[in-house]
Every structure is written in structure tokens, then in C-alpha cells.
Amino acid sequence: MIMQWSWKQNASCCIGALREGNERPELFARSWQGRLSALYWRVPIFLWAFTVISWSAVTFWGTTDKFLLYMTHWGLILILLESFFGIVVAAKKFSDFPDLGLSLPWYVKVYWVLYNVAIPVAFLITVFYWVILKSSVKKINYAPNPVLDVMLHGINSMVMLLELMLSAHPSRLVHVMQPLYFSLVYLLFTIIYYSAGGLDPWGNVFIYPVINWSKPQQTLVVAVLTGLFLALMHIVTVALATVRDLIARRCVSSSSGVYNDGFEP
């Protein structure tokens, strides 16, 4: 029985499935301080994401069909979807959640997966842009408007950090495969786009200078290092959630549902 349970747990980790514990659905609808509704920050995040996506689309430097070439825009859409499902969850009255035993409603699960992916991906986009692309030998101005530039590659991480630090539900280490699978989908997209002869808005054969499949060995090294860094961002996310909930245990009279077991097997 122990070997069977261990095999199922390892398989669950590899496929990126949610590991559910004792979370009640209402835990995903409030802040760690208590009964403060998550609507207070998820609605502003949704409006921010919608505004920035619209602004970025209107002022996009290329043709409309190339808007989704960039991980930055994928990350923004992730934030939009994450905050939308977060609003759906938070808008449900606590008494309206169905009694499903240890299982969570499907819309809570969708929100949780998007949450697990959107936060580390936002952190990755910010670091990748300012550390790698901005210091690249071949510099390309991906956001001509400096305010929009900061919104796309800086404020994105700040709003996701806000979501992380105010929420009450856990972030778990075993969910690391979820953001990694998302990044793998984007990587496969870049390969297919290159193989089909796709060009960026400036006529280059690459989307990003450091992800250039005409130089496969160099690009594979960058892809592997980026994947490792994304995994590190997930670990940072879990660590921040753990610190958040340790503080919550000291500040909230009832510790029920505020302890993050992200580092537990």
C-alpha cells in the first residue's frame, strides 16, 4: 500500500496534478487575515491586466497576428485569466460552495492551476527581460513606450506578488510541473514558428535574440537554464507563501487553514 501510494504521488507530481489536502473552497476566496474577500485585490488586478493588454495591443509595434509571439503577452493573458477565475471563486458566498468531501469545485481547481503558473511566470518574465534581453548584444525595443515597458515587465510581478501575499490558500512544491509545462508549450511554439519560416516584426528569424533556433545548441542551453530558473521562481513562490502563513499563524487567533505545507511531501 505504501509503495502504491508513493507511486501515485510521484506520478501526480510528474503530470503536474494538484495535490489537494484539507483545503476548504472558501480558503481560496479570502485573505489570510480572515474574512476579507479576495475581490478587494483580484478585481483591480483583472482591470489592470485588461487595460495593459488593450494598451499593448493598440500600440503594438508589429502586425496583429504577431502579438502573441511574445512570452510577455502570454504572461499578461495568464494574469487576466487567473484574476478572472479568482473573482469567480471570491464572488461565491461561503455557504454556496458544494460539499464535495476532499475534492474542490472545478472552477477552484482551474483558478489554483492558473495561480500556480501565473506567479512564477510573471517573476521569470521580469527577470528575463531586464537581466537578459536588456543586456543582450542585439538590443530590440520591445516596448517603445517607457511606461508600458514597466507595466509589461515590472508591474506584472508586483500585482502577482500582491496576489500571493494576500491570499490564504497554499502554494506547493509538488506543483512545480505546472509552470514548467506552460513554458514547454511556449518553447514548442517557438520551434514550430521557426520551422514554419515565421519572422518577428522586424524580419528576424527569431522571436527573442537569445532563443534563436538557427543556433540550436546555444538556444537549448538558454532553454534549459530558463526552465531551471522558472523552477527556482516556483520555489521562491512557495517560500514566500510559507513565510506569509507563518506570519498569519502569529497574527490570526485561529491557525486553521493558514499554514502552508508547500515543502511537505
**What would the pLDDT profile of 182-215 be if each residue is shown by its tens digit?**
999 999 999 999 999 999 988 999 999 889 999 9
* Residue 103, in any domain of the structure: yes
Distance CA(167)–CA(3), nearest Å, equals 35
* Residue 13, in any domain of the structure: no
What angle do helix axes 39-58 and 156-166 make, rounded to 10 degrees?
Answer: 170
* Residue 53, in any domain of the structure: yes
- Indicate the number of domains in the chain: 1
* Residue 69, in any domain of the structure: yes
Confidence (pLDDT) at 73: 96
Confidence (pLDDT) at 100: 53
* Residue 208, in any domain of the structure: yes
Confidence (pLDDT) at 4: 46
The residue ranges of the chain whose pLDDT is under 70 are 1-16, 20-22, 93-102, 136-141, 143-144, 253-265
Confidence (pLDDT) at 93: 63
* Residue 12, in any domain of the structure: no
* Residue 132, in any domain of the structure: yes
pTM here is: 0.88
Confidence (pLDDT) at 138: 61
Contact between 258 and 32 under an 8 Å Cβ cutoff? The reply is: yes
Contact between 157 and 52 under an 8 Å Cβ cutoff? The reply is: no
Contact between 219 and 213 under an 8 Å Cβ cutoff? The reply is: yes
In eight-state DSSP terms, residue 153 is: I
* Residue 7, in any domain of the structure: no
Enumerate residues 6+ apart whose C-beta is below 8 A from 59.
144, 145, 148
Domain that holds residue 192: 23-251
